[in-house]
């Protein structure tokens, strides 16, 4: 279940961008019209081959024009030399096609209709179906490519982890993120994709901290931006590569 | 079992492998009114929102301690703040934990025994526990054997107490060895 919560209290304005949470990432920023136009003009003056190569991977974000201009290869300006959504969706779609061939997905509705505020996608284990309902004007992390990639994470987790056989007693449940460091990395990746994890209540924490959600968010970033995922959360990436080792070479570029 | 006593939430959502365990009744909690479902493939109990139009459950919260038997998670849900009310399945599984927890019976047997005693059919128990009906039979057979053995044990202890220090193995009945 991919939920994108945008409470007014979690929205800030930074350098003309609307930012979800405290940590800027390509997925948690939108807008930025004036600065963005200036940056786009600079980017378009670069040789085509440089533009394409720079847009192929995500480097650390800066919202300061001068910093970016002086470090074009080491820094990214949101929506300018970050990976464009069309490419994120291409990468997710390639994995979706593999999931269908592999047999862990039977149905996909990428223009589905979900009548629940903030819910952008879900995976149903019994029909092995993903349904996605996204808005092209939303934050990048709430758009179709990242949402599809997240739900595919559930589909592979369900299949590889043989989770239909848990049968109400998961005595053998072992954490995929088996060290504190790996779990911290997975949380960092989740917050990069969907913004800060909401507070829980008492002995209950946000469902986003559950193993399955952290796994699906890590999976999504490994599909749509593999180099950045490795840079931001290397220990979580290692764990997921091990967990999905039988299909990892087919999924991750 | 389609009757769900006091709630409008479906007792089972097939596509999600989700079983209704109860709902939060605590007025002080931001989770008030939310149902709790055990989702088999996630191996855990979640509190969240039920959407009638889509007939879907959306998890929002999970207990801090993941894992453990289904009945153990129901027990934690019932005994941790905030206040909750259990569904018929939740009540049966809560009873199952109190049967298993002292070590008298295996947890899988306890699940089947408690659900059977609560009136659920063989196929319903299979669905609730996400197991084959034949596995229900097997656990029920084992559980019934232990229950019968326990009854016999209690009866014999009572007999000893009533007869003082008399050697009860010397009596002539169908269970004692033939001494003639």
The ipTM is 0.86
Which among A3, A119, A168 has the least Cβ separation from residue B129? A168
Q: Give B24-56 pLDDT, tens digit per residue.
A: 999 988 899 999 999 988 888 999 999 998 899
Q: Is B3 inside any structural domain?
A: no
Q: Which structural domain, as residue segments, surrounds residue B119?
A: 12-160
Domain locations in chain A as residue ranges? 2-70, 85-165+175-251
Pairs of residues, one from chain A and one from chain B, whose beta carbons lie less than 8 Å apart: 110
- The total number of structural domains in chain B stands at 1
Q: What is the C-alpha to C-alpha distance for residues A7 and B114, in angstroms, rounded to an integer? A: 43
B29 to chain A: closest CA residue: A201
Q: Which residues in B lie closer than 8 A to residue A126 (C-beta atoms)? A: 14-17
| Closest Cα in chain B, distance from residue A69 (Å) | 42
Q: What is the C-alpha to C-alpha distance for residues A3 and B61, in angstroms, rounded to an integer? A: 12
Q: Give B108-119 pLDDT, tens digit per residue.
A: 999 999 999 999
Q: What is the C-alpha to C-alpha distance for residues B48 and B60, in angstroms, rounded to an integer? A: 5
| Closest Cα in chain A, distance from residue B117 (Å) | 18
CB B95 within 8 A of CB B114: yes
The tens place of each residue's pLDDT in chain A, 253 residues long, gives: 898 888 887 888 888 899 998 889 999 999 888 889 999 999 999 999 999 999 999 999 999 999 999 999 999 999 999 999 999 999 999 999 999 999 999 999 999 999 888 899 999 998 999 999 999 999 999 999 999 999 999 999 999 887 665 555 555 567 899 899 999 999 999 999 999 888 888 888 999 999 999 999 999 999 999 999 999 999 999 999 999 999 999 998 7
Distance of CA A4 to the CA centre of its chain: 11
Cβ-defined contact of A166 to B14 (cutoff 8 Å): no
CA distances (Å), origin A187, targets A50, A78, A245, B24, B43: 32, 22, 21, 28, 20
Q: Is B18 inside any structural domain?
A: yes
Give one word for A31, left, alpha or beta, with left for phi > 0 and alpha for psi -120 to 50.
left
Residue A110 DSSP label: T
φ, ψ for residue B10, nearest 5 deg: -65, 145
| Closest Cα in chain B, distance from residue A167 (Å) | 5
Q: Best interface-test mutation with A: which of B14, B29, B34, B62 has the largest number of A CBs within 10 A?
A: B62
Q: For the whole model, what pTM was predicted?
A: 0.88
Q: Is B170 inside any structural domain?
A: no
Q: Is B27 inside any structural domain?
A: yes
């Amino acid at each position: 279940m991919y939920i994108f919560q945008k409470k007014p209290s979690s929205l800030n304005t930074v350098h003309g961008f609307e930012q979800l949470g405290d940590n800027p990432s390509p997925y948690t920023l939108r807008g930025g019209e004036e600065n963005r136009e200036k940056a786009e003009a600079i980017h378009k003056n670069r040789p085509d081959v440089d533009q394409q190569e720079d847009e192929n991977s995500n480097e650390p974000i800066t919202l300061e024009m001068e910093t970016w201009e002086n470090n074009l290869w080491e820094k990214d300006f949101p929506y300018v030399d970050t990976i464009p959504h069309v490419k994120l969706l291409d990468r997710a779609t390639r994995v979706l096609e593999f999931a269908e061939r592999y047999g862990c997905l039977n149905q996909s509705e990428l223009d589905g209709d979900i009548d629940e505020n903030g819910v952008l996608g879900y995976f149903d284990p019994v029909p092995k179906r993903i349904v996605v309902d996204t808005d092209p004007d939303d934050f990048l992390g709430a758009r179709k490519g990242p949402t599809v990639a997240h739900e595919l994470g559930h589909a592979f987790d369900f299949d590889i982890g043989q989770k239909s056989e848990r049968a109400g007693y998961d005595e053998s449940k072992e954490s995929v993120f088996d060290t504190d460091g790996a779990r911290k990395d997975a949380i960092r990746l989740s917050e990069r994709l969907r913004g800060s994890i909401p507070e829980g209540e008492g002995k209950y924490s946000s469902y986003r901290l559950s193993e399955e959600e952290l796994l699906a968010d890590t999976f999504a970033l490994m599909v749509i931006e593999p180099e950045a995922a490795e840079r931001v959360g290397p220990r979580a990436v290692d764990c997921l590569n091990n967990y999905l080792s039988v299909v990892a070479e087919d999924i991750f570029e | 079992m389609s009757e769900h006593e006091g709630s409008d939430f479906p007792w089972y959502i097939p596509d999600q492998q989700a079983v209704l365990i109860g709902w939060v009744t605590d007025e002080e909690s931001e989770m008030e009114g939310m149902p709790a479902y055990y989702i088999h493939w996630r191996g855990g109990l979640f509190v969240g929102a039920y959407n009638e139009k889509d007939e879907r459950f959306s998890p929002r919260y999970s207990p801090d301690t993941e894992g453990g038997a289904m009945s153990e998670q129901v027990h934690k849900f019932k005994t941790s703040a905030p206040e909750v009310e259990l569904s018929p399945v939740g009540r049966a599984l809560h009873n199952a934990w109190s049967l298993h927890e002292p070590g008298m019976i295996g947890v899988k047997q306890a699940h089947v025994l408690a659900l059977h005693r609560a009136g659920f059919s063989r196929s319903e128990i299979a669905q609730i526990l996400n197991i084959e009906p034949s596995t229900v039979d097997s656990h029920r057979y084992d559980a019934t054997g232990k229950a019968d053995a326990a009854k016999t044990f209690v009866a014999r202890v009572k007999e000893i107490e009533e007869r003082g220090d008399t050697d009860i193995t010397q009596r002539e009945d169908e269970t004692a060895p033939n001494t003639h």
